[in-house]
Structure 1
């Protein structure tokens, strides 16, 4: 009981530290939030980080705090940044670094000064819990290094992070959730286990998640956002970055894009068993698109025009049996806006024999008057804005299917 109480106090103090730090002064710097899987040849993202840090010769600190092998991960990141003209260096703050005391290092004045004087910082992937545990004291207060990071950001530097380094950007982050999405929908989130305080660089109003489309994680964001009272979520796909400037404009660059979730008008019926959500909005931002976090305004990327709804391409009803599959939700949305259908449906359920296999969820996507659809002339790049999304629990019959016997 005492352990739980201490954990709750630490979480509350950490949350207050995030709020206080973020509110103290509007940052002049930028964020580059990468959804994980950043490839060495993704020049657009690496170049952007270097440019925002000051251009050729920029000093960029690399924090491999989250990594299982920080020496290797730190050096790989330094190499990729230096290939674009930076003068990157590793800051030795990581619990997996042999012969180091991570708590002492995080309060080392020399390391803090090196970070504060840099043009930018890059957080590698790994386990985001290692980052927050290293950069905050057990009572939730900031270490000297975390204060230095805020100083860098406020004066105009860039903070970049991939995977775990992306998760820590919001004031609440996924901490140690189940590996799969469905258990989060079925069971909700628990403070200190599934979610915990992040570092809050993006502010208190946006929830961030990563590896989004590849792993179907848009769905796990929903119960977390409801539980922590977020009305705006930004989920970024792999090898893709959301670049956020001081005016709070988000610009997508890289391989794919991001999902934006808006819950300002959404409702959930607490009297009903199981997770449910009505009247949410889901959008897909492609590379080149912009979205302003303050005004909630979308700006399609270069060369995109509104889709001509008079020439629909997909007439049959749209139904997907695994809405949590790799990029499935974007594929469904693309078919919906290209069709004469008003709505599309996707379902999610576990394999037979799984715990609570009979419990699943139905996702309904509906075109609304405020929906927008844009594409290039070749239709190889598209943007989909503000499709209504409703989620309700469903019961899956077991067995889900039977083998049909051939006629004798």
Structure 2
């Protein structure tokens, strides 16, 4: 263990610019394996994904309208799956009404382990329901418990039900699959199941079957997805999961925000907050050191309108960021050391990253630790973010939005003396 002793809005000059389109920021060359793996998913599927981080508000018109547009526009048929919900009848009807309010011809796909008076096994292999899903322009998964979705749509032997096959057929031919919270978790081939709290996940690690389980894999085999990301500090729990399963790319999306993944493997962030991209292609782990650790990972924060191509590794800042321009490190706004005593706090990691790219500092540090009654109370973690040659930030010309691409991230275990305070 290491010992540590610690001490504990952005004002931007905004200029309105119009008529400017986004320009691509070429990322550092991706590792060959990562690039080939990402490109393998391109061109085989004509449909799109809308991956929502949870708590999608009815008033978030850009996300709802995009779902309807990708499903075929006004009048498009969209199957609503309440499979994850604890009260599926109520949750399903609510989202059917929401989608209808935005112009879709939405209908309920009643395949749920919790739906009273039904047998989900029979319904998941019902030919008529499968036909309706296959002929629809899209599907929408409500939030809840993602394990209920996979239980409902896969047979006990792990094979696909007729309805799951229909979803894949619809997606391959050009339909959209959208999901919020639990509906986002199922998008990758592995998903969190009975997950421990974030800090406990760092301390104790993950295992298959309990913490991690198979997802439905719509985004492909090589990208890990998590949700409720910034408000719950879940970026940290993604790291041991990604290492355990061998993922090199991870996408985490925040609440009331969506990632749109097109057939060209372009990811666009849309909505209230943003997304984190984690790249582990060059990351290393000291297997001989006790405690979770990692060196030379890359972390990026994608704001509303920003894009990242999974196949090419290219970032494209939104048009308003291009208008605002790259942040000039020679004229920093922040001129003090950057530190957080709660890196897992509500949006803390994103705020620290934004400050770093607009400061005279080369690095920022955040720590994570728990209370004296937590698991291994003396164990904490230091997260160190560093500016490297490919690191860059963009300011929006019209909002307070900031994009941060490719900060280096290193994590090491530290020892926190408990209790952390004493009264004299």
TM norm structure 2: 0.89
1:240 to 233, 252, 257: 257
User: Quick one: distance in 2 between partners of 1:299 and 1:324?
Assistant: 27
Contact kept in structure 2, 1:74 and 1:90, CA below 8 Å: yes
**Residue 35 of structure 1 pairs with residue 53 of structure 2:** yes
User: Quick one: distance in 2 between partners of 1:379 and 1:247?
Assistant: 28
User: Segments of 4+ in structure 1 off by > 2 A?
Assistant: 22-25
1:352 to partner: Cα distance: 2.0
Q: Deviations over 1:338-392 (max 9, x none)?
A: 1100001000000122221100000000000011100113560110000000000
**Residue 206 of structure 1 pairs with residue 226 of structure 2:** no
Q: Following superposition of structure 1 onto structure 2, how do residues 370-381 of structure 1 map, counting pairs within 5 Å?
A: 370-377=390-397, 380-381=400-401
Q: Following superposition of structure 1 onto structure 2, how do residues 51-130 of structure 1 map, counting pairs within 5 Å?
A: 51-130=69-148
Contact kept in structure 1, 2:42 and 2:263, CA below 8 Å: no
Q: Deviations over 1:260-310 (max 9, x none)?
A: 000000001111111000000000000000000111111001121101111
3-state SS of paired residue (1:40): coil
**Residue 292 of structure 1 pairs with residue 309 of structure 2:** yes
2:369 counterpart residue number: 349
Q: Following superposition of structure 1 onto structure 2, how do residues 2-401 of structure 1 map, counting pairs within 5 Å?
A: 26-178=44-196, 180-304=197-321, 305-377=325-397, 380-401=400-421
Contact kept in structure 1, 2:42 and 2:311, CA below 8 Å: no
User: Quick one: distance in 1 between partners of 2:399 and 2:330?
Assistant: 16
CA-atom RMSD in angstroms? 1.4
User: Quick one: distance in 2 between partners of 1:186 and 1:31?
Assistant: 33
Contact kept in structure 2, 1:108 and 1:144, CA below 8 Å: yes
